Amino acid sequence: MSEKEVSTERAVPEATTRGSIAMPSFDLTGKTAIITGGTKGLGYGIAATYAHFGANIVITARTVADIEPAAERINSRYITGENRCIGFPADSGEQADIDRVISGSVGVFGKIDILVNNAGISGKTAGILSEECSEDNFDQVINANLKGVFLFAKAVAKQMASQGAGGKIINMASVGGLVGGKGLVAYGASKAGVISLTKTMANEFARYGITVNAICPGYVVTPLNEDVFADKSIREKMEARTALRRLGCIEEIAGPALALASDCFSYMTGTYILLDGGQTIGG
């Protein structure tokens, strides 16, 4: 299918000209959303939230063993009526896997409206001059966190452009892409790259009615790190770095991700939402 440019003009609603304001809607009914890494943590929280607000959901993970129970939970807990959550095993850095996810999603739901690039890894925590901060580790993190975002967003944008109805791409970056955290050189570089990639894609995809934005979470408790934060000394150290003096929760990231996927943020593209509890303002 060929790419179709979409008019980016938006008429002022008649109600607005009469002094009334059309209320924003978070309804995603009829929309199809792909959430990479959607079986755990933030990805699962976003997938469940989108499902609750009516979207058809496609989640990815590396194994079927991760996908099946997550899809079952979403279908049973957050969806009323017919199941609307499916999943595909995929490595976001492998083009063949990405193509299979896209063709499978379109085959089941007919289209793709939303992509959340959430899959990623943290890599080893090690200073740049240490032996553990190796070239292999650096490449692994960059491939997973940056190359994967590039490949998946590019492929989905082509599909969205062929549909001719626009779309939403949301890239999961991090506060680590904005500050130079010690011991996380590859992770920080990858997330800074995601922020830059978001801006470039937003510029290039606008002609197709596709918006591209990023989310930069700070310290958020998830099932993947709750054991670490169970250590009182570590938790208090992290909390002290935020203005709110606490850690974030999954719902506090999923909510803004919902807003970005809805019509509420239709005039926002090429930027990021910082959700760090005030970490970057000096706590």
pTM of the entire structure?
0.93
Amino acid at 210: I
pLDDT (0 to 100) of residue 1 = 57
Instruction: Please say if 44 is a catalytic residue.
Output: no
Q: What is the dihedral of CA 250, 255, 173, 165, to 10 degrees?
A: 140
Question: If pLDDT is split at 50, 70 and 90, which confidence band does 4 have?
Answer: confident
Q: How far is CA 249 from its chain centroid?
A: 16
Is pLDDT of 12 > 60?
no
In a domain? residue 16: no
Provide CB contacts within 8 A for 58, sequence distance 6+. Answer: 32, 33, 34, 35, 38, 85, 86, 87, 88, 101, 104, 105, 108, 109
Percent of the chain, pLDDT > 90? 82
pLDDT (0 to 100) of residue 104 = 98
Q: What is the CATH number of the domain that holds 31?
A: 3.40.50.720
d(CA 208, CA 203): 10
d(CA 51, CA 178): 31
In a domain? residue 222: yes
pLDDT (0 to 100) of residue 228 = 87
Greater model confidence, 81 or 135: 135
In a domain? residue 3: no
Question: In the chain, how many domains are there?
Answer: 1
In a domain? residue 182: yes
Is pLDDT of 9 > 90?
no
pLDDT (0 to 100) of residue 6 = 76
In a domain? residue 218: yes
For the residues 82-101, what does the mean pLDDT come to?
Answer: 96
Residues spanned by the domain of 207: 25-278
Question: If pLDDT is split at 50, 70 and 90, which confidence band does 30 have?
Answer: very high
pLDDT (0 to 100) of residue 16 = 60
In a domain? residue 120: yes
pLDDT (0 to 100) of residue 227 = 87
pLDDT (0 to 100) of residue 10 = 62
In a domain? residue 1: no
pLDDT (0 to 100) of residue 60 = 98
Question: pLDDT tens for residues 232-268?
Answer: 999 999 999 999 999 999 999 999 999 999 999 999 9
pLDDT (0 to 100) of residue 247 = 96
d(CA 43, CA 34): 10
Q: What is the mean pLDDT of the chain?
A: 93
Question: pLDDT tens for residues 113-170?
Answer: 999 999 999 888 889 999 889 999 999 999 999 999 999 999 999 999 999 999 999 9
Percent of the chain, pLDDT > 70? 95
Question: If pLDDT is split at 50, 70 and 90, which confidence band does 21 have?
Answer: confident
Q: Which of 187, 208, 219, 272 is the catalytic position?
A: 187
pLDDT (0 to 100) of residue 248 = 96
In a domain? residue 10: no
